[in-house]
Structure 1
Amino acid sequence: MSLPLSQPAYDDSLLPGESNIDALVRGEHADPFAVLGPHDDGEGTVVRVYLPHAVAVDLLARDSQAKLADMQASRVPGLFVCRLAEAQPYLLRIRWAQGEQLTEDPYSFAPLLGEMDLYLFAEGNHRDLGRCFGAQCLSVDGVAGVRFAVWAPNARRVSVVGPFNGWDGRRHPMRLRHPAGVWEIFIPRLAPGEVYKYEVLGPHGILPLKADPVALATETPPNTASMVAAPLAHPWRDQAWMERRTARQAANAPMAIYELHVGSWRREEGGALPSWRQLTERLIPYVKEMGYTHVELLPIMEHPFGGSWGYQPLSQFAPSARYGRREDFAAFIDACHQADIGVILDWVPAHFPTDTHGLGRFDGTALYEYDHPFEGFHQDWDTFIYNLGRTEVHGFMIASALHWLREFHVDGLRVDAVASMLYRDYSRKDGEWIPNRHGGRENLEAIDFLRHLNEVVKAEAPGAMMIAEESTAWPGVSKPAAEGGLGFDYKWNMGWMHDTLKYMAEDPIHRTYHHDRMTFGLIYAFSERFILPISHDEVVHGKRSLIDKMPGDRWQKFANLRAYLAFMWSMPGKKLLFMGCEFGQWREWSHDHELDWYLLNYDDHQGVQQLVRDLNRLYRHERALHQQDCVPEGFQWLIGDDRHNSVFSWLRWSGKGEPLLVVANFTPVVRHGYRIGVPSGGNWQEALNSDAECYGGSNVGNAGGVVADELASHGQPFSLNLKLPPLGVLIMRPA
C-alpha cells in the first residue's frame, strides 16, 4: 500500500540552512550525505536532492513505482525537497530538458566500505585494493550500480564525474570516511564501460580532473579517463602450469627470457598496434618455436605517453587499453601458460609521471610523492618519486604488485630502477639530496618497502618470482630479507652486460688489452642469483643495435654476434634477450615501428635466429648449462688467461657431475692444434659450433667430435687437440 503523499508545497523548515545551501551550490560541502537523501526530522522523513538543471523530480516507491510525492522545487535552482510520512525505499523520476531518468538516490544508501577495509588501508596492509577501492560493480539492497572509493585525505570535497552527470561535480559529491581520508559513494544503475574521473576540491581550490589511482580499466590514450570494469571473469585453464611453476622458475631450472615491447614486436596491417588476441595467435607460436621459457613485457600498465615505453605508468591496476580489454590480457597469459611459457611483467614502483590527471598533488598536497623536490622529484626522468615511507602509499604499491600476480596469474615482476630507490643521492649532486634519519644516503623507507614486498609476494603468490633491475654493488639483493637481503629471487647482472659488450665492441686486435672484461664477472657471479640481460636499454638512444656494436665487415659482425650469444648462453646465469637481437636487426629499436622482419629473407639473419633457437634447445636439454647456474660448483675455469690469443675455456657441471666443455675464440684467426684439458677420456662431440655453416659461419671445426688424449692439461687428466673456429664458440660434451 502506498504511503500518503507529501505536502504539495515545502516550507523553509525543509531546507538545510543557508550555510549548507551555499556550500552545496558552490560545490564545497564536505558532508553532502548530512544534507541530501532521506532524514528523519521528527515529523516524518524529509528527502532532499540537488540536481542542477533538472526540470522536475517525482518520488516513487521502489517496489511498485507508485508515486509517493511530487518533489517541490525550492528557491535554490536544482534543490528539490519533500516530506514522507514514513521512511521507505524510493526511486527518483527526474525530468531533464533532454528526457526522463529513473534511478535510485545515491544519498539514500548507508556507508558501504567496511571498517576493516579502512583500517587495513590506513596501516598499509590492504592486500586487495583492486577489489575494494576504485570503481566496483556490485548490488546494494538488490540495486545494481558502482561503488567508488578514493583516498584524498586533504581534500575539502571529492566528486565522481562523467558523462552520466554531465561532468558536473555538484551532482555526486562523495562521503568522507574519517579518519582514513577515503571518500566513497554508490551510484545506482551505472554499468561497466562508463568513463569517469574525480573532481577534487583541494585546500587551495579545484584541481584538474583526476583519473582513478585504482582504476581497473581506462580509456585508450590519448584520452585519460578511467573506466568502470566488471570483475574479471576469465575461465582459467592453466592449472597444470601453475602447479609446476615453482619448479620451472627455480634457480636450478633453465630460464631463457624473450623481452619485448608489445606495441612494436609486430604491427598489424597499416601499422596498427596489435591486440592481445593477435599476439596470442602470433607471438606465442614464435616464442614456443624459438625455445624460450618466458616472455617479459615492457610495462603494460596504462601510461599516457607511448614514448616512455610504459616506464611512466599512471594506472598501477589497469592493463593499457591500447591492446584490448583486460579479459583479453588474461586470455593471453592463460594461452602462454598452456603453451608452457611463463609471463614476466616489468613493474615500476620507483616513480610516476607529472601529468595533471595523475597521482601528482592528487588532493592538492604531496600525497603519493615526497613533498620536497630533493626527495620527491626525479630530475633525470622528470617524474615524481613515490613516498614509500607513507603507509598508505606503501600498501598501495604492494597491492598493485599482488594484483598482477593474483588477478592475472602473472609469473613474475621485474622491478624497474631499483638502484634509484635504494639511494637518496641517486643521480643527484651534493646539496641536492636529503640524508636519511641517520645522516646516510640509503633510502630506508624504500629498502623496507622492497623487503616487505618480497616477503608478501612469497606468502600471497607462491611460485611467483621477483627480479631486480639493480645496477650497483648493493649486497644481498637476491638474499632473503631474514638474512639481511632485499629478498628478490633474481638480479639483473648489469656489470656483466656492460663489461662484455665493451669487450665485444673492441676490434679483435685490441681485445688482448681488454681480456679481463670477459673474466671479471666470474669473480662475483655467485654472490647473487643472476639473470644475464641484453635488454631494450642496450639497443636505443644511439647505443646501436646488438649486431651493429660488433666490429669488422659484415661477415665478422655476424660471427662476433653469434660468438657472443653462444658465450652468453654458456655462462652461469639465466638468460634475457630483447626482441630483434635474435635475428640481428641492424636498426636501433624504435617503439613506433615493428621489428625488421624482412631481414629474415637473408641467410645470415636466418643463421643467427637458428643459432638462438639451438642455444635455447641445448640450454634446456643440457643440465650442466642451467642446473648449477647460481652456485660456484657449476662453473670451472680451464683457460682464463690466454689474452694473447683471446681464447677462453671453461667447464659447466650439472648437479650429477655431468660436464660440458666451452671454448671461445674471439679473434678471426683459426687456431690449429689448441690443446685443452678435459675431465674424462673417450669421444667428445660438438654439441654446438657457432661457426657452423647452418648459422652462416665458415664451418671450421672438428668434424663433429674429437677423441681425448691421455695427456694431462689444465689440471685435467685428459685433453683434446682442437681446431678453434674464427670468432667462434664450441660447446662439447662427452659421448
Structure 2
Amino acid sequence: MGQTTQPRTLTEHDLALLHEGRHDRPFDVLGPHKQGRRIVVTAFQPDLASLSALTAKGEVPLERIAGDVFAGPVGAGPYRLKAVSGGGVAWEFDDPYRFGPVLGDVDLYLMGEGTHRRLWDALGAHVTTHEKTAGTHFAVWAPNARRVSVIGQFNQWDGRRHPMRRVGASGVWEIFLPGVADGALYKYEILGADGGLMLKADPVGFGSQHPPEKASVVRDISGYGWKDAGWMERRAAAHDRTAPISIYEVHLGSWRRKWDDRGRPLSYKELAADLVNYARDMGFTHLELLPVSEFPFDGSWGYQPVGMFAPTIRFGPPHEFRDLVEAAHAAGLGVLLDWVPGHFPTDAHGLARFDGTALYEHADPREGFHQDWNTLIYNYGRTEVQNYLIANALYWLKEYHIDGLRVDAVASMLYRDYSRSEGQWVPNKDGGRENYEAIAFMQNMNIATYGEVPGIMTVAEESTSFPKVSAPVDAGGLGFGYKWNMGWMNDTLRYVQQDPVHRKYHHDQMTFGLMYAFSENFILPISHDEVVHGKGSMLRKMPGDEWQQFANLRAYYGFMWGHPGKKLLFMGCEFGQPEEWNHNGELNWHAADQPLHKGLQSLVRDLNHLYRATPALHVLDCDGAGFQWIATDPAQSTFSWIRRGHEGDPPAVVVCNFTPVPRENFRLGVPRAGRWREAINTDAAIYGGSGMGNLGGVEADGPAQDGQPASMAVTLPPLSVVIFVAGEQIS
C-alpha cells in the first residue's frame, strides 16, 4: 500500500475544505493511514448511498463521518472501494489515495535545476502501471496554486473528487488515477493564488480535443515501431552546409482537401501518401510544416499554440502524425516543423496566468505582452520556463523524429523594444535593448538539440542584422544551423515587381544581397507570408500581361535557384496559383492543370533536380568561394555569375535577362573554354516560354573577357534565366 503514514487529526476544517474543493493536501487526510495499530481508510465520495472497502478478508462498510466523507478500518494489504448510488447501482474501483507518488527525486531535482531534458516523461498524462494497477499518472507544474485537481468524464468533471498531491517544494502536483486509460478527456481545475477557479488544458498534454472543444486527451505515445533508421543515419549529411536543401513549406489544412464530404482536410495518413509523393516528385528535399502543435484558432495557422506537446487532432491522432513523418523519411524527405517559442495566446484554457499568477509569462506587460499579435511573451529568464521550451524542442525531435525546427519570430525575442514605442519597453540590466534572457534561451536550445539529437537542423526566421545567428555558440553565435534571408527576399521581390522598363533604376536590389550572402548560412525564403494579407499571389505580383507574368515568375525562380543559399518555397507558388493563399480552402489545383501553370510547375521540378544533381549549384551555397560575378549591366537589366563547387566539380554559369528584349550573341566571360551545356532555360517551350535558347549547348571559344580566361556568345531569351554547366575542358 503506497500511503500509510500517520495522519494528523481529521478536523472540521478539513471536512469543510474537502466539501468545498479547497483542500491542498488531500493525501494527508484521504486514503489509508495508520491510527495506532489499525489502518483506517478515509474517502471523499459525493452522491453515494453507501461506501465500503473490499479487502482480502471481505467487505468492510465505511462509516459516513460527515456529508460525503466516509471512513473505516481495513486490514493490511490492497483494497478496493465499492460504491452504491441512491438508486441502488453498485460499482467497484481503486482508491487513488492508496497509491504512493510516481515522481522520483531525480525528476524533482532536474526540474528544480531546469535541466530536465525529458520533461515530458515526468509531467503530463502517462498511461502506466503503478503498484501493479493500470491507470494514468497526471503531473503538472503550478507552484502558486492553492489546489489542483484532475477532472474528466471519469469523475463527472467534479474538481472535489480528485485533488492532487503537492510534491515537496517543486511546485509540481501529481496523482495516479487507476482505470483511466488512453483516450480519456481531462482538464486541470486550478484554484489559483488569486482565489479564482480556472479550467486549464495540460501544458504537457500529448493530445487534445478538436477545437473549439478545449479538453486535453490522454494519449499513450509509447511503442511506435520506427523503421527509418537508414534515414536517421544519413540525415546529418542531408543537412550539411554543402548539401542541396530545397524546402516545400506546407499548411496541412489547405494543401488539398477531400470534396466527397464537404471539403475536409486530408488526414495525416492521406498526407503521408499524397503530399509525400508530390513533394518527392517535385524534387524537394524537405517538407516544412506550419505549426502542428495544437492551437485553438484556425485563423492563426498554428502560430498561437496552446498544446505545445500535442500534434493537432485536426488531421488525426499522434501515431498517425508519426506515420506522416515516417513516410517522408522513406521517400528521402526531411521534415521540419515551424516551432513557436516566441509567444502564446491569451486563451483562458492555455498558459496565461496558469496558477493565478504570471507563471509562464512576464507580469509586466512591457515585457510580457506582444502588442502586434495580442499574445503573451514567455519569461525566458525563469528556469522552469526555459526548461519547458527546450524540452519541448527535444520532444518533437526525439518522439516524432522531426529533422529540424524553424524557429518563428526570432527578432521579436532578441529585442526588448521590438515593435514598441519609447517608454513601452524595459531595458536590459545594461540599459540596452537586447534581450539577454531570450538570447541565452536560444543558445541553450541549440546546444541541447544539436548536442542530444544527431543530424538535426535549426533555422531562425530572423529579419534584422543581429550578428552570428547561424554561428556556433562557442564562437559567440546563437547556434542556429541556418537563417532565413529576409533581406534578399524583400529586395528581390521589390525589383521583380517593377515594370521591366524601370528595373534599370533598381538594379542594386538584385545585387546587394551578395554583399552579405555569406555572413550567415542562409535559406532564401518565399514563404506563406509573401502570399497573404493583401500581398497577392506570387504570380500576380509580376508586371505585364499573363504571358509576361509567367515569364517574370519563371525568371525569378531561375534567379533564386541559381543564387547562393538554400531554397524554400510555399505551397502553390510552384505552379503559380493565381489567388492569394486562403487557409480555409485548398490550393487551386484546377489552375495547376492549365498549360502555363503546368509549365511553371515543370520548371520548379527541373530546377530542384538540377540543383540537387549539380554540385556547383549547392556545395558552396554558404561559402563565398562558390560565387563570382561575371558582369551586371543596369541598362540592359542583365546579370551573370559563376557558381563553383569543390575542386574538380564542373562550374555553372547563370545568366539573367530581366527585360522582354531578347539578346542574341550576348557575349560573356566564362572560367573555362570548351562546351557548355544549357542545363535550364526558363524560356523553354516546355515551360510555356517562347522557345528561344541555346539547344545543343554553346562553345566557349572566344577570347578572355570579364576577367575570365575564355568567353562565349549566347542567346538570352526575353524575361529569362539560363543556367549553363561546363562540359569537357579544352586543354
Partner of 1:656: 647
Greater shift, 485-494 or 704-713, is seen at 704-713
Q: Work out whether residues 15 and 81 of structure 1, in 8 Å CA contact, stay in contact via their aligned partners in 2.
A: no
Partner of 2:213: 223
Partner of 2:4: none
Partner of 2:612: 620
1:131-210 matched pairs, under 5 angstroms: 131-210=121-200
Partner of 1:111: 101
Mapped pair 1:57 → 2:51: yes
Q: CA deviation at 1:704?
A: 3.1
Partner of 2:530: 538
SS in 1 for 2:231: helix
Partner of 1:647: 638
AA paired with 2:634?
Answer: R
Partner of 1:732: 724
Q: CA deviation at 1:43?
A: 3.9
**Partners of 2:629 and 2:90 in 1: how far apart?**
82
Listed one character per residue, the Cα deviations across residues 503-534 of structure 1 (whole Å, up to 9, x for unaligned) are: 00000000000000000000000000000000
Q: Work out whether residues 232 and 327 of structure 1, in 8 Å CA contact, stay in contact via their aligned partners in 2.
A: no
**Partners of 1:537 and 1:67 in 2: how far apart?**
68
Partner of 1:632: 624
Pairing partner for 1:529 from 521, 530, 537: 521
Q: CA deviation at 1:703?
A: 2.8
Partner of 1:594: 586
Mapped pair 1:88 → 2:80: no
**Partners of 2:26 and 2:44 in 1: how far apart?**
10
Listed one character per residue, the Cα deviations across residues 415-468 of structure 1 (whole Å, up to 9, x for unaligned) are: 000000000000000000001111111111100000000001111111110000
Partner of 1:711: 703
AA paired with 1:91?
Answer: R
Q: Work out whether residues 196 and 227 of structure 1, in 8 Å CA contact, stay in contact via their aligned partners in 2.
A: yes
Q: Work out whether residues 681 and 721 of structure 2, in 8 Å CA contact, stay in contact via their aligned partners in 1.
A: yes
AA paired with 1:96?
Answer: S
**Partners of 1:458 and 1:378 in 2: how far apart?**
29
**Partners of 1:88 and 1:250 in 2: how far apart?**
59
Q: CA deviation at 1:601?
A: 2.4
Listed one character per residue, the Cα deviations across residues 661-716 of structure 1 (whole Å, up to 9, x for unaligned) are: 10000000011221100111122121110000000000111233111123110001
Partner of 1:3: none
Q: CA deviation at 1:535?
A: 0.1
**Partners of 1:601 and 1:435 in 2: how far apart?**
55
**Partners of 2:124 and 2:577 in 1: how far apart?**
43
Aligned length: 717
**Partners of 1:231 and 1:472 in 2: how far apart?**
39
AA paired with 2:18?
Answer: L
Q: CA deviation at 1:231?
A: 3.0
**Partners of 2:512 and 2:221 in 1: how far apart?**
51
Q: CA deviation at 1:77?
A: 1.8
AA paired with 1:705?
Answer: G
Q: CA deviation at 1:229?
A: 0.9
Mapped pair 1:561 → 2:553: yes
1:408-423 matched pairs, under 5 angstroms: 408-423=400-415
AA paired with 2:174?
Answer: E
Partner of 2:14: 20
Q: Give the TM-score of the pair, scaled to structure 1.
A: 0.96
Q: Give the TM-score of the pair, scaled to structure 2.
A: 0.97
**Partners of 2:361 and 2:417 in 1: how far apart?**
16
SS in 1 for 2:212: coil
Q: CA deviation at 1:717?
A: 1.3
Partner of 1:323: 315
**Partners of 1:197 and 1:503 in 2: how far apart?**
52
Partner of 1:7: none
AA paired with 2:373?
Answer: W
Distance 1:14 1:466, change over 3 A: closer
Q: CA deviation at 1:38?
A: 0.8
Mapped pair 1:383 → 2:375: yes
SS in 2 for 1:137: strand
**Partners of 1:373 and 1:699 in 2: how far apart?**
60
**Partners of 1:68 and 1:438 in 2: how far apart?**
70
Q: Work out whether residues 99 and 131 of structure 2, in 8 Å CA contact, stay in contact via their aligned partners in 1.
A: no
**Partners of 1:25 and 1:19 in 2: how far apart?**
10
List alignment gaps of at least 5 residues for structure 2: 1-6
Partner of 2:229: 239
Percent of residue pairs identical? 55
**Partners of 1:135 and 1:734 in 2: how far apart?**
60
Mapped pair 1:41 → 2:35: yes
Mapped pair 1:490 → 2:479: no
Structure 1 residue runs of 4 or more that deviate by more than 6 Å after TM superposition: none
Q: Work out whether residues 53 and 77 of structure 1, in 8 Å CA contact, stay in contact via their aligned partners in 2.
A: no
Q: CA deviation at 1:234?
A: 1.7
Mapped pair 1:581 → 2:570: no
Partner of 2:358: 366
Partner of 2:508: 516
Q: Work out whether residues 38 and 87 of structure 1, in 8 Å CA contact, stay in contact via their aligned partners in 2.
A: no
Distance 1:731 1:195, change over 3 A: same
1:440-455 matched pairs, under 5 angstroms: 440-455=432-447
**Partners of 1:43 and 1:662 in 2: how far apart?**
90
**Partners of 1:78 and 1:274 in 2: how far apart?**
49
Partner of 2:62: 71
**Partners of 2:596 and 2:86 in 1: how far apart?**
70
Q: CA deviation at 1:46?
A: 1.4
AA paired with 1:197?
Answer: K
Q: CA deviation at 1:135?
A: 0.5
Greater shift, 203-212 or 217-226, is seen at 203-212
Q: Work out whether residues 249 and 568 of structure 2, in 8 Å CA contact, stay in contact via their aligned partners in 1.
A: yes
List alignment gaps of at least 5 residues for structure 1: 1-12
SS in 2 for 1:527: coil
1:684-699 matched pairs, under 5 angstroms: 684-699=676-691
Partner of 1:400: 392
Partner of 1:123: 113
Partner of 1:8: none
Q: Work out whether residues 624 and 660 of structure 1, in 8 Å CA contact, stay in contact via their aligned partners in 2.
A: yes
**Partners of 2:452 and 2:542 in 1: how far apart?**
45
Q: CA deviation at 1:15?
A: 7.2
Greater shift, 389-398 or 130-139, is seen at 130-139
**Partners of 2:90 and 2:358 in 1: how far apart?**
42
Q: Work out whether residues 708 and 718 of structure 1, in 8 Å CA contact, stay in contact via their aligned partners in 2.
A: yes
Q: CA deviation at 1:251?
A: 0.4
User: What is the root-mean-square deviation of aligned Cα atoms in Å?
Assistant: 1.2
Partner of 2:562: 570
Q: CA deviation at 1:204?
A: 2.2
Q: CA deviation at 1:67?
A: 2.6
Distance 1:536 1:97, change over 3 A: farther
Mapped pair 1:268 → 2:258: yes
Pairing partner for 1:30 from 20, 24, 32: 24
